[in-house]
Structure 1
Amino acid sequence: MATAEGLLSPKQAQSIAQADAWLNIWEGSVRSGKTISSLLRWLMYVATAPRGGDLTVTGRTYDTVSRNVFGPLMDPAVVGPQVAKLVSYTRGSSVASILGRQIEVITANDARAEGRLRGLTGAGAYVDELTLMPKDFFSRLVDRQSIAGAKIFATTNPDNPAHWVKKDWLNRALELGIRTWHFTLDDNPALPAEYVARMKRAYTGLWYRRYILGHWVQSEGAIYEAFDEKRHVVQQLPRIDRWLCDAIDYGTVNPFSDLLIGLGTGADDVQRLYVVSEYRHDSRQARRQMTDAEYSQARRRWLAGTPHPQTNIIGVQPEWTVVDPSAASFIEQLFRDQVGNVTPADNSVIDGIRGVASLFAADRLHVHESCTGLIDELPGYSWDDAAAEKGEDKPIKKDDHSCDALRYGTRTTEALWRPYIPHLEVAA
């Protein structure tokens, strides 16, 4: 069997040929070939799916569905030009067309997602990134497949071994009559050797075991295992080419942390992100709480007095001010003070952590020695063992204020810095 790009691996071909159970799950490491296998099998199913019911594609958001599902299905290089012409989808739409069949597109990114399945009479479904679905949503989706012969096809990256997907479904595959296939990065022979080597360098610890080896492992210990003060903390900064943002974790009783992040080229001609400066106020240590207006004024003074490295210029105006999304009153204060380009931070915790971890692992993130709050927090930033036992990946909410600001800044401005650091691999 072959795609338009070339021959499938034996494991891919086997999974497609054997995916005839009522529920079929492809799980394993990133870029291991599981998604293409599942999509080709989904195409085959749509061509012969029972009539009289709804066919559904589900994912976390419309953007992820468009990128992960319909992007490949509409790519002639993947499915061939004749098939690609028979797949139609507009990003953000709740309806698609595959091989002449109408497809309902349903997102599942919050607790209300289950209600979107009401009235569905399922004849088959494709589920993108199963571990990111709410548990109740997937249970309802399964219950809704009431047309005789209905089948579900799902993909997922590994997660915590106590995650409901692992406990309730994968571990009970034989008992429930479902089929599963485990993929590792080395199961995809189409990947160039240099890409595989780069991926293996990009991850450490937990992320390496999950996204390279495909293991379902519990989060434990330090979050940023690759962080090395001798390597990542610098005395000298290069000239900053772009002042991307100042990123704020807001606190009144807890510390208020604001990190200034820029993009520059080091002496080794490698482009990196640099945490150039830090403003931090700890009300407990200072024995004085500050108001929103005082924080805004302090921020303005701090930026106005910050020098541009390798120049005689004083004063920085970052492209964006990224603020803790829960700090609505402070965001309003910044607007009143006519601060431009203020935006709530992208608070995707695990995605943000994974991005910072990859930056450290690839030596693409350096911190100036003056940023003592961040430097003090990074080594102790750890996973919450109690949450891990419940199948959740969460950091311990203690001494994490500058770490949160770092995550906010790098995640929210990724579209700005990504073109300059194109080969950094951050698994979705």
Structure 2
Amino acid sequence: MELSSLPLSRKQLRSIAQSARHRISIWSGAIRSGKTIASLIAFLIALAVAPSTGLVIIAGRSLQTIERNLIEPLQDPALFGALSSQIVHTRGSTTAVILGRTVHLVGASDARAEGRLRGASVCLALADEITLLPEAFFKQLLGRLSVPGARLLGTTNPDSSGHWLKRDFIDRSYELGIGHWHFTLDDNPSLTTQYVTSIKAEYGEGTLFFKRFIEGLWIAAEGAVFDMWDENRHVVTSLPRIHRWIGVGVDYGVQNPFHATLLGLGDDRRLYVASEWRYDGRHQRKQLTDAEYSQRLRGWLGDVPGIGPVRPSFVTVDPSAASFVAQLKRDRLTPTPARNDVMDGIRTVSSLLAAGKLRVHSSCKGLIAEMPGYAWDDKAAEKGEDKPIKVADHGIDSTRYVTYTTRALWQRQLAMAA
């Protein structure tokens, strides 16, 4: 039975063969490094010989991520040939039939997901992106591998060096008899040299995200968040012709500053934070109402200094600012709740800065002042968590909101310029 038509590296083949010896097998390392395809092949082999009693489970952050990361590749004839026809799944369903066996798909987005496993006896489990799963859920899943010969296979990108998965499992892999294989981007023979070069440039050599997602290293987030920030490189005094006004990001504040940033796509295929509007009620000793904020925001967009009237495609607003969102709707300025995935947003801005694809106009003095001091929280890092210190970050948050939320508008065009 041919399991994959992709070329496999020696490391992939070795990990697939050796995984059969272990109750727990973990593939960790860089993005697109070949660890997922290796784990899927190992899973199919394990499923073919799995005990007939007990549940087969695929676990992930959500049903959608399980479908995207695992089920869709398994169903791709380009990857698994004729075998792909033996993976039967209806999108949105919490079960799939794989090699004739019912497989339960379990999303685990928070600690409450742990309750979904109680009472279950599991003979085989595949866990996608383990570091994104709640610790209690993962440990409960391990505890449910009660059928003789039961096994768990899992993949993950690296996280902080203090993350529970590394501390309690990977660092103790020899002691616990866990199979663990570390992959870098260069370990995937199916990638072209051009793609590898491009994605390395995108992440920016030396940055936290390069070390984790390209080199596959487990390192703590420490020091400056945007350690690649360089005013000489990233701040400009003039703008190119703006091809499209992508959006406005709004970090809403009453006691804290209200900060809006305007993002445009230049003819040079770079993104520009072209202007900002900021109001600090505490400093001004006068708080504004939602209606007043809306009026002033619309007034700023109606005549942006040095630019003129602007009609952005999106107005992305701090998702916690429900009353302000309602006010903007009443004022016929259609808002979009911002995507507030902090680490994904930081990674997006970080990658753009590292690749030289994001510039800030010199008039954005609030944002420019915040960038060098935006730092990781050392106390959170000791617990294995990645969190920036929540101080002087309003311009950064507004920029993160608009950049990450609108990425579907600009990603392809920036990629074409690479």
TM, length-normalised to structure 1: 0.93
Counterpart secondary structure, 2:376 = coil
**1:406 Cα deviation from its structure 2 partner:** 1.0
Residue number in structure 2 paired with 1:399: 392
Residue number in structure 1 paired with 2:352: 359
Residue number in structure 2 paired with 1:339: 333
Give the Cα–Cα distance (whole angstroms) in 1 for the partners of residues 129 and 44 of structure 2. Answer: 18
Residue number in structure 2 paired with 1:151: 151
In the alignment, is the contact (CA less than 8 A) between 2:24 and 2:179 conserved in 1?
yes
Inter-CA distance 58–394: structure 2 relative to 1 (3 Å threshold): same
Counterpart check, 1:246 vs 2:239? no
Inter-CA distance 424–353: structure 2 relative to 1 (3 Å threshold): farther
Superposed CA deviations along residues 357-377 of structure 1, whole A, max 9, x for unmatched, are 111111111111111111111
Superposed CA deviations along residues 126-157 of structure 1, whole A, max 9, x for unmatched, are 11100000000101111122222111100011
Residue number in structure 1 paired with 2:93: 93
**1:48 Cα deviation from its structure 2 partner:** 1.8
Counterpart check, 1:419 vs 2:412? yes
Counterpart check, 1:317 vs 2:311? yes
Give the Cα–Cα distance (whole angstroms) in 2 for the partners of residues 3 and 99 of structure 1. Answer: 12
Inter-CA distance 407–92: structure 2 relative to 1 (3 Å threshold): farther
Residue number in structure 1 paired with 2:342: 349
**1:4 Cα deviation from its structure 2 partner:** 4.3
Inter-CA distance 99–3: structure 2 relative to 1 (3 Å threshold): closer
Give the Cα–Cα distance (whole angstroms) in 2 for the partners of residues 65 and 116 of structure 1. Answer: 16
Superposed CA deviations along residues 252-292 of structure 1, whole A, max 9, x for unmatched, are 111111111122222xxxx1211121110112321222111
In the alignment, is the contact (CA less than 8 A) between 1:62 and 1:91 conserved in 2?
no
Give the Cα–Cα distance (whole angstroms) in 2 for the partners of residues 100 and 307 of structure 1. Answer: 65
Inter-CA distance 107–231: structure 2 relative to 1 (3 Å threshold): same
Superposed CA deviations along residues 197-221 of structure 1, whole A, max 9, x for unmatched, are 2222222321121112211111111
Give the Cα–Cα distance (whole angstroms) in 1 for the partners of residues 325 and 116 of structure 2. Answer: 33
Inter-CA distance 147–4: structure 2 relative to 1 (3 Å threshold): closer
Q: Give, as a single letter, the amino acid of the residue that structure 2 aligns with 1:39.
A: L
Give the Cα–Cα distance (whole angstroms) in 1 for the partners of residues 64 and 167 of structure 2. Answer: 28
Structural mapping, 1:6-405, within 5 Å = 6-20=6-20, 21-80=22-81, 82-203=82-203, 204-266=206-268, 271-306=269-304, 314-340=308-334, 342-405=335-398
Q: Give, as a single letter, the amino acid of the residue that structure 1 aligns with 2:336.
A: T
Give the Cα–Cα distance (whole angstroms) in 2 for the partners of residues 209 and 254 of structure 1. Answer: 34
Give the Cα–Cα distance (whole angstroms) in 2 for the partners of residues 218 and 307 of structure 1. Answer: 41
Q: Give, as a single letter, the amino acid of the residue that structure 1 aligns with 2:251.
A: D
Superposed CA deviations along residues 364-412 of structure 1, whole A, max 9, x for unmatched, are 1111111111111111111111110110000011001111111111111
Superposed CA deviations along residues 224-243 of structure 1, whole A, max 9, x for unmatched, are 12222111111221222222
Counterpart secondary structure, 1:422 = helix
Inter-CA distance 167–132: structure 2 relative to 1 (3 Å threshold): same
Give the Cα–Cα distance (whole angstroms) in 2 for the partners of residues 229 and 279 of structure 1. Answer: 20
Farther-moved stretch of structure 1 (296-305 vs 40-49): 40-49
Give the Cα–Cα distance (whole angstroms) in 2 for the partners of residues 23 and 355 of structure 1. Answer: 33
Superposed CA deviations along residues 16-69 of structure 1, whole A, max 9, x for unmatched, are 000021110001111111111001101111122111221111111222212211
Farther-moved stretch of structure 1 (146-155 vs 193-202): 193-202
**1:2 Cα deviation from its structure 2 partner:** 7.6
**1:119 Cα deviation from its structure 2 partner:** 3.8
Inter-CA distance 280–121: structure 2 relative to 1 (3 Å threshold): same
**1:246 Cα deviation from its structure 2 partner:** 0.9
In the alignment, is the contact (CA less than 8 A) between 1:359 and 1:424 conserved in 2?
no
**1:315 Cα deviation from its structure 2 partner:** 1.4
Q: Give, as a single letter, the amino acid of the residue that structure 1 aligns with 2:311.
A: Q
**1:307 Cα deviation from its structure 2 partner:** 6.5
Give the Cα–Cα distance (whole angstroms) in 2 for the partners of residues 253 and 308 of structure 1. Answer: 29
Q: Give, as a single letter, the amino acid of the residue that structure 2 aligns with 1:282.
A: D
Pairs aligned (count): 415
TM, length-normalised to structure 2: 0.95
Inter-CA distance 97–349: structure 2 relative to 1 (3 Å threshold): same
Counterpart secondary structure, 2:227 = coil
Give the Cα–Cα distance (whole angstroms) in 2 for the partners of residues 423 and 55 of structure 1. Answer: 42
Give the Cα–Cα distance (whole angstroms) in 2 for the partners of residues 13 and 277 of structure 1. Answer: 52
Give the Cα–Cα distance (whole angstroms) in 1 for the partners of residues 416 and 96 of structure 2. Answer: 32
In the alignment, is the contact (CA less than 8 A) between 1:358 and 1:424 conserved in 2?
no
Inter-CA distance 413–145: structure 2 relative to 1 (3 Å threshold): same
Give the Cα–Cα distance (whole angstroms) in 1 for the partners of residues 124 and 189 of structure 2. Answer: 30
In the alignment, is the contact (CA less than 8 A) between 1:28 and 1:182 conserved in 2?
yes
In the alignment, is the contact (CA less than 8 A) between 2:3 and 2:83 conserved in 1?
no
Inter-CA distance 262–5: structure 2 relative to 1 (3 Å threshold): farther
Give the Cα–Cα distance (whole angstroms) in 1 for the partners of residues 417 and 392 of structure 2. Answer: 28
Counterpart secondary structure, 2:415 = coil
Give the Cα–Cα distance (whole angstroms) in 1 for the partners of residues 279 and 313 of structure 2. Answer: 23
Give the Cα–Cα distance (whole angstroms) in 2 for the partners of residues 28 and 135 of structure 1. Answer: 19
> Which 5+ residue runs of structure 2 have no aligned equivalent?
none
Give the Cα–Cα distance (whole angstroms) in 1 for the partners of residues 416 and 100 of structure 2. Answer: 38
> Which 5+ residue runs of structure 1 have no aligned equivalent?
none
Counterpart secondary structure, 1:241 = strand
In the alignment, is the contact (CA less than 8 A) between 1:322 and 1:344 conserved in 2?
yes
